[in-house]
Structure 1
Amino acid sequence: MRIHENAVRAGAAWTAVAATVPYLTLKVLWLTGCPVGSDDPGELDRLWLLNLLTFGMDAIAVALALAFVRPWGRRVPAGLVAFPMWVATGLLGTILVALPLYLSSVLVLGPEHSSGQGTDIGIADWVFFVVYGGFTVQGLALITAFTLYARQRWADLLRARIGDLPRSPTLAVQRSLGCVAALLGLGAAAARVYWAAGGSVGMPIAMAEEHPRGVAVMDAVTAVMAVAAPTALLVLVFRVRPGGRLRGPLLVAWTAAGSLFGWGSWQLVAFAATTTRVTELRTAVPGLMPLVQAGQVVAAVLVLTVGAMALCERAAAEQPAPSSEPAAR
């Protein structure tokens, strides 16, 4: 069984590495001044920093995939694997949910009549399929490899039950922070539902005028994540169903909070970097969309903080107590 899992993990990890090649190649071409797939080289030049950032993000995904199959991957400190994989799970997992929904809407309702994906910078349609097709394969493969890696490295944690979490002195703080995360999540979810349903108050003017269907789908998915992450956290910190498996709510909190953090941070960075469209980004309620994005990032950080506190305390509680007997001479 272990040999079979190792083979699947290796296959998934190397598939994830291969899936990054088209995207990384495209980014290298854009960064070196080759505007393949775009009819606006000037705009690509203005987005050079964003292209460099996304190149680095995909390069980190390659490093993660290698960590899941190489011997040194088990010796890497847990945080150096867990944090980037948390972000990667949120970013890629959201695409795995949102992309089928968007494509289904195209099949049922027909293509959008607005300018659609990427045409602000003159991106050809085939680039969308190359990029998001690669993200889909990468997401499925990388998450599969990580799941099998985690089953070996953190097997005891995944077998634990909610009631096994210690009732530590910080539990009151954990519960308070969880409630704050829930309030922020509900606020972000309400705004995202409003925008997904067609509301335009607080949206950038250009986006509000076109209201792309893909953006509406992402808003709807983000709203679900904004409710799911703090809800799963509250299940853990209030010990709801203490006999239930820990891995269920832990998986939901991990994925949903990673989505809130990854996409919220990315959208904040993207808005800040696209200074060439300052006038288009002005909204009827100034700062509302960045405020929502910042709120979901803070909610995600609170979920991460509380989860890390609880898991670290559990690990500390499982450490054997030091012996009080003098060592034999």
Structure 2
Amino acid sequence: MERWDRVGRCAGYGAALAVSPYLLIKVSWVVGSLLGLAPIGEGFNLAGWVLLNTVTIAMAGIGISLALALVRPWGMLIPGRLVAFCAWTGAGFLVSILPYAVVSTVLDAARSGASNSGDDHSAMPGWEGALIQFSFIGMGLGLALALPAYLRRRWPEAFTARVADGTRTAVPWAAAVAAVIGLAWLYWAVGGTLGVAHPAERDIKGYLLTGLGALWALAGSAAVWMLARRRPVRIPHHLLLALGWLGSGSLFAWSGWKLPLTLFVALAHPRDAALPENLAVAAVLHAAAVVAGVGMLRTLVGSRPRTRAGTPAGPSPAPLHT
């Protein structure tokens, strides 16, 4: 426990430090564009560029605050629902994407850094791209280690038992919806063309992202299903919670970001933006993913670890009001 706490605290400080270059780069872009010293991203006017980067600055500030809240004493005093929601969304964005970040970095290295050759939308130098990538990976790794340590300190009962006879009898509809979404994305990831309007727009990174989203949706669905079922399983409760947490967070965070983008492309028809998938199908899947992610989280909050004898191991993790 003490060793795990030490690792978690170091990871939290490391995550906050890792996001700092991203924050400074974004601030420099805003200030530089306002003063006329830095270029504006292609396809943006000044107001749009400043607004976009101001939003990402705020997101970086929230990320740094979250990382510090996971390790500093005052983090235990913040309302649990707020910490849990920010951590859930942040983990869904960053921790779930770590495998893709590693693979894409290897692919870029194999292509001699072609993705940062200076032809991107913001004319971003290679060193800036590397620092931004480092920030994302560092924050994701930091959350992956600091968050479980924080949760274990604040709600230790969720980590003390295996799952046995549960109290829920209803079918976890959110897990079923997530499974359907995961199978649809998996079909696209292996090359399926049904529901794909522009197959030529797909590339290897698109396949990887879609496949990773499918795997998290299916893993989260299976975990939530096992947490909600009656029959005992031999999987530690905390492992199922972690899979359900990341799977539901990935569904909510990424589809919550992609849904507005899909709707924008569908309504505005920008000439320089095209998505491979049929926009109506993609919008329905993303909307369903957001709803499923929230529903899976509600099931996770209501899950109750039990001892092998069938008696509750402690109160439900529901005291997120504290």
- Could you tell me the TM-score, scaled by structure 2's length? 0.80
Q: Is the 8 A contact 1:10 1:69 kept in 2?
A: yes
Q: Could you tell me how far 1:192 is from its partner in structure 2? A: 1.9
Q: Does residue 1:183 correspond to 2:176, yes or no?
A: yes
Q: Is the 8 A contact 2:116 2:129 kept in 1?
A: no
Out of 303-312 and 40-49, give the one that drifted further. Answer: 40-49
Q: Does residue 1:260 correspond to 2:251, yes or no?
A: yes
Residues 36 and 23 (structure 1), Cα distance of their counterparts in 2 relative to 1, 3 Å cut? farther
Q: Does residue 1:152 correspond to 2:153, yes or no?
A: yes
Query: SS at 2:71's partner residue?
Result: coil
Which structure 1 residue ranges, 5 or more long, are not aligned?
A: 320-329
Query: SS at 1:163's partner residue?
Result: coil
Q: Is the 8 A contact 2:197 2:278 kept in 1?
A: no
Corresponding residue number in structure 1 for 2:95: 93
Amino acid across the alignment from 2:120: T
Query: SS at 2:230's partner residue?
Result: coil
Residues 43 and 113 (structure 1), Cα distance of their counterparts in 2 relative to 1, 3 Å cut? farther
* Distance (Å, rounded) in 1 between the aligned partners of 2:202 and 2:117: 9
Out of 225-234 and 94-103, give the one that drifted further. Answer: 94-103
Amino acid across the alignment from 2:69: A
* Distance (Å, rounded) in 1 between the aligned partners of 2:106 and 2:28: 32
Q: CA RMSD in A?
A: 3.5
Residues 119 and 45 (structure 1), Cα distance of their counterparts in 2 relative to 1, 3 Å cut? farther
Spell out the pairing of 1:95-244 with structure 2 (5 A cutoff): 95-105=97-107, 110=111, 119-120=120-121, 122-163=123-164, 165=166, 167=167, 171-172=168-169, 175-176=170-171, 178=172, 180-199=173-192, 202=195, 205=198, 208-242=199-233, 244=235
Spell out the pairing of 1:23-38 with structure 2 (5 A cutoff): 23-34=22-33, 36=38
Residues 223 and 199 (structure 1), Cα distance of their counterparts in 2 relative to 1, 3 Å cut? same
Query: SS at 1:42's partner residue?
Result: coil
Query: SS at 2:96's partner residue?
Result: helix
After superposition, what is the alpha-carbon deviation per residue over 1:176-217, rounded to whole angstroms, capped at 9, x for unaligned? 3x1x32332233223322332345564575xx4342322221
Residues 203 and 115 (structure 1), Cα distance of their counterparts in 2 relative to 1, 3 Å cut? farther
Q: Is the 8 A contact 2:174 2:295 kept in 1?
A: yes
Q: Does residue 1:269 correspond to 2:265, yes or no?
A: no
> Which structure: larger Rg?
1
Out of 69-78 and 270-279, give the one that drifted further. Answer: 270-279
* Greater share of helix: 1
Q: Does residue 1:78 correspond to 2:80, yes or no?
A: yes
Q: Could you tell me how far 1:299 is from its partner in structure 2? A: 1.4
After superposition, what is the alpha-carbon deviation per residue over 1:117-166, rounded to whole angstroms, capped at 9, x for unaligned? 9835544444432212211111112321222222222222201221275x
Q: Is the 8 A contact 2:96 2:250 kept in 1?
A: yes
- Could you tell me the TM-score, scaled by structure 1's length? 0.78
Out of 240-249 and 137-146, give the one that drifted further. Answer: 240-249
Out of 69-78 and 296-305, give the one that drifted further. Answer: 69-78
* Distance (Å, rounded) in 2 between the aligned partners of 1:94 and 1:134: 15
Amino acid across the alignment from 2:92: G
Residues 92 and 284 (structure 1), Cα distance of their counterparts in 2 relative to 1, 3 Å cut? closer
* Distance (Å, rounded) in 1 between the aligned partners of 2:113 and 2:63: 32
* Distance (Å, rounded) in 1 between the aligned partners of 2:141 and 2:63: 12
Amino acid across the alignment from 2:184: A
Percent of aligned pairs with the same amino acid: 27
Q: Does residue 1:302 correspond to 2:304, yes or no?
A: no
Q: Does residue 1:278 correspond to 2:270, yes or no?
A: yes
Amino acid across the alignment from 2:71: V
Residues 247 and 101 (structure 1), Cα distance of their counterparts in 2 relative to 1, 3 Å cut? same
* Distance (Å, rounded) in 1 between the aligned partners of 2:192 and 2:43: 33
* Distance (Å, rounded) in 2 between the aligned partners of 1:231 and 1:81: 25
Query: SS at 2:260's partner residue?
Result: helix
* Distance (Å, rounded) in 2 between the aligned partners of 1:282 and 1:133: 27
Q: Is the 8 A contact 1:115 1:210 kept in 2?
A: no
Amino acid across the alignment from 1:289: A
* Distance (Å, rounded) in 2 between the aligned partners of 1:266 and 1:188: 16
Corresponding residue number in structure 1 for 2:68: 66
Residues 139 and 201 (structure 1), Cα distance of their counterparts in 2 relative to 1, 3 Å cut? same
Q: Could you tell me how far 1:40 is from its partner in structure 2? A: 3.1
Out of 154-163 and 45-54, give the one that drifted further. Answer: 45-54
